[in-house]
Amino acid sequence: MFLGTHINGVDVKGRVSAPADFRAVARDEALEGVYCWPAFDGPFLEGCGQGLMERFKAMLDAWDPYDEIRTAFARAVLGEARLLGFDATGRVTLPKEFAAHAGLDGQAAFVGLGDKFQIWNPDAHEAHRVAARETLKDNKHRLRPPQAAARGDGGAA
Amino acid sequence: MFLGTHINGVDVKGRVSAPADFRAVARDEALEGVYCWPAFDGPFLEGCGQGLMERFKAMLDAWDPYDEIRTAFARAVLGEARLLGFDATGRVTLPKEFAAHAGLDGQAAFVGLGDKFQIWNPDAHEAHRVAARETLKDNKHRLRPPQAAARGDGGAA
DNA sequence: TTGTGTCCCATAGTTTCCCATGGTAACCCA
DNA sequence: TGGGTTACCATGGGAAACTATGGGACACAA
């Protein structure tokens, strides 16, 4: 599971060390790298390992092949995604257009979100992080998911 | 179940012995460590074992992926959490930013809360404990959780 | 050739692992 | 019931392993 926030340096060649924790997650899924694509809803990158990528594919397979949403999703994620391989020391090289999309310059913040993660410009992420905490403080009583009442919630996974 | 309050020392390397009772709980869930993150609503840390973490994940999976509160929750918990592994003698190492968030300096109070626990600066916890008792005395007639009658569940988030 | 991208090697700093020790609480036996 | 013994818990320090990072060499394409 991708957890925590790790800030690592991006050198002039566009290389950045994937956090060791994240590498361990990817390798547990027998992948010597991570899938990565520019988010379609903000200035950051999204990434995942083999497991989630296969779930995406299964989801698409189960969908009406000519549904507009399906096509749009496939284009926005699969069409933009690349497999970034780890080098011998655990770094990945970010394509220029990826770095540009996320405004990465010198540093990158890897944010673990369970089965996927995001890569942010550290300053942009910090601003977002503070905002998220405020949102949560104001809404912590709504933390039960919408379906909880219907499903009984609390179910162990 | 995490129960009771235990105060242990934090050494210069940021290491602290997890209470033996807590270790036993984590190991019952086949986890050689504990998940831990800075609380979003106060100067303390929160922690849990495998069971609650998987319920968090299940809750997120059941939610609209782009709901604002869901995202804020994922960011504030998963994005800040880390799996702190036990060393051979049962200690965990607190990342510097964790110790800073909770104001831990020399000692840490582990407070069991059932399926999760908190880690406090002992002085801050004592003050908070007294205040919490007063709150409870003033509200003891409201102790039945709102959902209890309907669902028979009293989960707290 | 020139620019670009990949691979390899070197290094400082940090983190993790390992061993050793005192204190405390539980247990056993007389 | 009291004394002694054992096992476990919490803690301290040192060494090895790993992480993150920088620079240079090489291959390929324009």
**What pLDDT, in 10s, does the model give residues B8-45?**
999 999 999 999 999 999 999 999 999 999 999 899 99
Residue B7 has pLDDT above 60, yes or no: yes
Give the C-alpha separation, A13 to A95, whole Å. Answer: 10
- Calculate the angstrom distance between C1' of D25 and CA of A117: 34
Q: Is the Cβ of A155 closer than 8 Å to some Cβ of chain B?
A: yes
**What pLDDT, in 10s, does the model give residues B64-94?**
888 888 999 999 999 999 999 999 999 999 9
Confidence of residue B147 (pLDDT cuts 50, 70, 90): low
Nucleotides of C under 7 A from a protein CB: 5-10, 15-20
Confidence of residue A17 (pLDDT cuts 50, 70, 90): very high
- A149 to chain B: closest CA residue: B151
Residue B151 has pLDDT above 60, yes or no: no
Q: Is the Cβ of B60 closer than 8 Å to some Cβ of chain A?
A: yes
Residue A157's pLDDT is 34
Highest mean pLDDT among A61-65, A151-155, B28-32: B28-32
Confidence of residue A34 (pLDDT cuts 50, 70, 90): very high
Residue B79's pLDDT is 96
Q: Is the CB of B142 under 7 A from strand C?
A: no
Q: Is the CB of A20 under 7 A from strand C?
A: no
SS3 call for B118: strand
Residue B67's pLDDT is 87
> What residues in A contact B57, CB-CB < 8 Å?
1, 114-115, 157
The token pair that represents B85 in the structure block = 């592994």
Q: Quick one: which of B19, B12, B11 has its CA closest to B119? A: B19
Q: Is the Cβ of B71 closer than 8 Å to some Cβ of chain A?
A: yes
Percent pLDDT > 90 in chain A is: 75
CB B81 to CB A4 under 8 A? yes
Query: Pairing state of beta strands B5-9 and B107-112?
Result: antiparallel
Residue B144's pLDDT is 72
CB B72 to CB A151 under 8 A? no
Residue B143's pLDDT is 73
Q: Mind listing the domains of chain B with CATH numbers?
A: 5-142 (3.40.1550.20)
Residue A127 has pLDDT above 50, yes or no: yes
The token pair that represents A85 in the structure block = 């391989």
Residue A50 has pLDDT above 50, yes or no: yes
Confidence of residue B136 (pLDDT cuts 50, 70, 90): confident
**What pLDDT, in 10s, does the model give residues B96-116?**
999 999 999 899 999 999 999
Residue A153 has pLDDT above 50, yes or no: no
State the angle between helix axes of A122-139 and B68-77 in degrees (0 to 180), rounded to the nearest 10.
110
Considering Cα of A130, then A131, then A137, then A143, what sign does the dihedral take?
negative
Give the C-alpha separation, A17 to A91, whole Å. Answer: 4
Q: Of A42-46, B88-92, B133-137, B149-153, which gets the smallest average pLDDT?
A: B149-153
Strands (E) located in A32-115: 33-38, 45-48, 82-85, 91-93, 107-112
Residue A93 has pLDDT above 50, yes or no: yes
- Calculate the angstrom distance between C1' of D16 and CA of B145: 53
Say which nucleotide is closest to residue A20, CA to C1' distance: D19
Residue B135's pLDDT is 87
Query: Pairing state of beta strands A107-112 and A116-120?
Result: antiparallel
